[in-house]
Amino acid sequence: MWEGHRAANGVGGAPIAVPPTTPKNALPKSLEFASLDATHLSNPHLELTLYPSAMKFLWGIQALAAVLPTSLAQGTLLAELDYGSFSGAYSADYNISYWQRIPFAAPPLGENRFRAPQPPVPLTNGTYNSTQPYDFCTQRTTNGTEDCLYLGLYGRPWTKGQPLKPVVVVYHGGAFIQGGGSFTIPPSAYPILNVSAENDFVVVYTNYRLNAFGFLPGKEVAEDPHSDFNVGLLDQQFALHWVQKHICHFGGDPANVTIWGQSAGAGSVVAQTIANGGETEPKLFSKALASSPFWPKTYWYDAPEAQSVYDTFASQAGCFGPDSLHCLKHTDLQTLREAALYVSGSHTYNLSSYTWAPVIDGDFLREPLSQATKEGKVNQDDGFGMYNLHEGENFIPPGLDRSSDYAVEGSPAYNSSMASFEDWLHGYLPFMSARNLKQVRRLYPSAGSAEELPVYNSTYVRAGLIYRDTVLACPALWMAEASRKHAYLGEYTIDPATHGADTYWWNRVNAVQQTPGLDHVIYEGYAGAFASFFQTGDPNANKATNASVPGVPELCETHEQFVIEESGFDNVGISQLEKRCAFWRSVAQEVPF
C-alpha cells in the first residue's frame, strides 16, 4: 500500500492479483467459507440489555508534508507520523496493507475521564506495533478498558506518487453502550472494497467511549471546566481530525472522506452530520452513509430525564453531594462499570428506550435532529440513509407477538391484545397529547400497510413500525434529504429484514460474494452501491450490476427509494413514509428527538 512496499507486493511493486482462474469479482478460494464473525458493525455476540432479537443482531486540520511509510521487512510497513512511528503489515491473501492499532488520542484516564479527547502522547520508546487488535472501550462488567482511543485502517497497496484515495471512516454499533471498532483479517467491510476494481479507498475503524464513560449527562458535568458532554461523539470527531492530519501518510485523501456506520454507528453518523449546528470547521467529511441509524429519544443535558440518569449512576457508584463528579472521576473502574450497567438495564423492557445516548448540549449538539435537518443545518454534501423493513421489532416487548402473557423479569407482561399495545404506546410516548396519540393510531392502524408491506394485522408489527419510524427510518430520511447536494434512501426487505440482517451482504467475507446466481447479483448491487457512494458520492457512478438492474434513485428529485428485495432491486415511492415522518417531525417535542 505504501512506499517501500515493492518487495512485499511482488515484482516491480505490482499488486498481487487474484489467480486468473478466479471468476470476476470473486475472492480467493481460501475465503469461500470464512466465518461471519462480527467484531464491530454487526455483532451478534454482544450481550446487550435488549430484546433477544436485538441481542442477536446488534451487533467505527491541515496535513503535514507526508513522511510516507517505508518497509521494515517483507510484509511489514512503517508509518512515521509526527508523534511516533507505527509498524503495519501486508496481507497477500487479501491484497491489503493494514494498521490495526494506532492511538489517536491520549488515554482518557484520571482527570481526563468524562473529558473531551486530548492529543495523543508522543511515543518515545521506538516503533509502535500496529499489527495487533485493540480492546473495546469500557462496557458491561468485565469487558474493555478506559485506555481505548485507538483506530485501525486498511486499504489496497499504494506507493508514493500515486493519487490519494477516498477515505471511509466507520463507527461501530452497540446502542451507545457497547461494541468496538477493532478488526481482524479479513477486516469488516472488505466485501465492499472487493466488489469492484473500480473502487479503491482507505477504510478507518475507530473506537469511541460508551455508556457512562461516553455519554454522561447532568448539570454537574456542565459546571465542571474539565468535563464535557457527549465525549463519545467528541472522540469520533477527534478521529476525523486525525484523518485530516495523518491519512495522507497512508494514501488517503483528507478532502474526500465519507463517514459510515450501522445502528448506533449510524446514529453517530447522524450526530456528526448535525454537529456544531452544521458548521463544523475545518470541514471533516463530505459524504455520510447511515445504515439503520439508531437515534433514541434526545433530551437536553439537564432535562429531568437526563439528570435522573446522572443521579442514579452517581448514587449507584457511591458518589453523593456537590463533589459527586469529582468522586466519579476517582472511583475505581469496576464500581463504575457496575453502576453504568445498572442504569442500562433499568428501563429497556417497559419503555423501548435507552438511557446512555447523546444529549443536546448547546455546543456539539445544538438542537434536536428533527429541527436541525429541517433547517438544513448539516455538514454533509451527499447523504445516503438506509433502514430495514422489520427492524423496529427488535426493540419492542416480544410479548406483543404472543396471544398469551409473556413476562419478562422486571417489566410488565405484554401480549398481542389491544390493551397491551396501548400500555406500550403510552409507556413509549408518555409526553404525547391525547390528540396526537389519536393521530398515531390513525397513521398506524391495527390493520394497515407500509412501504413494501402490503398488509399487516399484528400488534407486534404495528408497534415495530412505530418504533422503526421514530428511531431508525425517519432519522435516515431526514439526514439524507437535508444533504446539501445529493440525497439517497434505501430499504432492505429480504426476510427477516430485522435490525442488522442487512449486514450479511457486506460486512464479512462469506460464500455469497463468489457464488453465481441471484444472491451474487444482490451482493454486487447492494455492496456495489455503497462502494460507489464511498468512491464518488454517487451510488450509481460505479454501478457493479448491468444496466437492466435498477440503481439508486435521487431522493429529492424522485421521492423514491432503493429497495433490496428477495428478487433483486426496485425503486419505490415513499409517500407513506414521508407522511408519517412529517407527522413525527411536527410532534418532535413530545417524543423528543
- Helix, strand, coil shares, percent, the chain, to 5: 35, 15, 50
For residue 296, give the DSSP letter. Answer: -
Compute the C-alpha angle 440/443/444, nearest 5°: 80
Q: Is residue 28 part of a domain?
A: no
Report the distance separating Cα 9 and Cα 484, nearest Å. 41
What is the per-residue pLDDT for 415? 76
Q: Which segments within 457-500 are labelled E, that is strand?
A: 486-492
Q: Which residue has the cell 441509524?
A: 293
Question: Which residues in the chain come in under a pLDDT of 70?
Answer: 1-76, 347-354, 403-413
Q: Is residue 152 part of a domain?
A: yes
Buried b (16+ CB within 10 A) or exposed e, 299-314: bbbbeebbbbbbebbb
DSSP-derived pairing of the beta strands 448-450 and 453-456: antiparallel
Determine the structural domain holding residue 52 and report its residue range. 34-64+137-593
Report the distance separating Cα 142 and Cα 146, nearest Å. 12
Question: What is the distance in angstroms between the CA of the first residue and the CA of the last residue of the chain?
Answer: 43
Q: Is residue 69 part of a domain?
A: no
Compute the C-alpha angle 422/368/104, nearest 5°: 120
Residue 148 · residue 137 · CB < 8 Å: yes
Of 358, 367, 116, the closest CA to residue 217 belongs to: 358
Q: Is residue 84 part of a domain?
A: no
What is the per-residue pLDDT for 404? 58
Q: Rounded to whole angstroms, what are the CA distances from 250 to 77, 86, 108, 154, 220?
A: 11, 11, 26, 9, 41
Report the distance separating Cα 325 and Cα 158, nearest Å. 48
What is the per-residue pLDDT for 75? 54
Would the pTM of this model clear 0.75, i.e. be above it?
yes
Report the distance separating Cα 148 and Cα 442, nearest Å. 47
CATH number, domain at 459? 3.40.50.1820
Report the distance separating Cα 152 and Cα 79, nearest Å. 13
Q: Which segments within 263-414 are labelled E, that is strand?
A: 287-291, 382-388
Residue 210 · residue 133 · CB < 8 Å: no
Q: Is residue 94 part of a domain?
A: no
Residue 565 CB neighbours (<10 A): 17
Q: Is residue 4 part of a domain?
A: no
Q: Is residue 106 part of a domain?
A: no
Of 337, 292, 290, 407, the closest CA to residue 57 belongs to: 292
Q: Cβ contacts of residue 448 below 8 Å, gap of 6+?
A: 455, 456, 462
Q: How many domains does the chain have?
A: 1
Q: Is residue 406 part of a domain?
A: yes
Tens-digit pLDDT profile for residues 97-111:
999 999 999 999 999
**E strand or H helix at 202:** strand 202-206
Cα atoms in the Cβ-side hemisphere of radius 13 Å centred on 209: 31
Rg of the Cα atoms in the chain: 23
Task: Classify residue 514 as exposed, middle or buried by CB count within 10 Å of its CB (0-12, 13-18, 19+).
Answer: buried
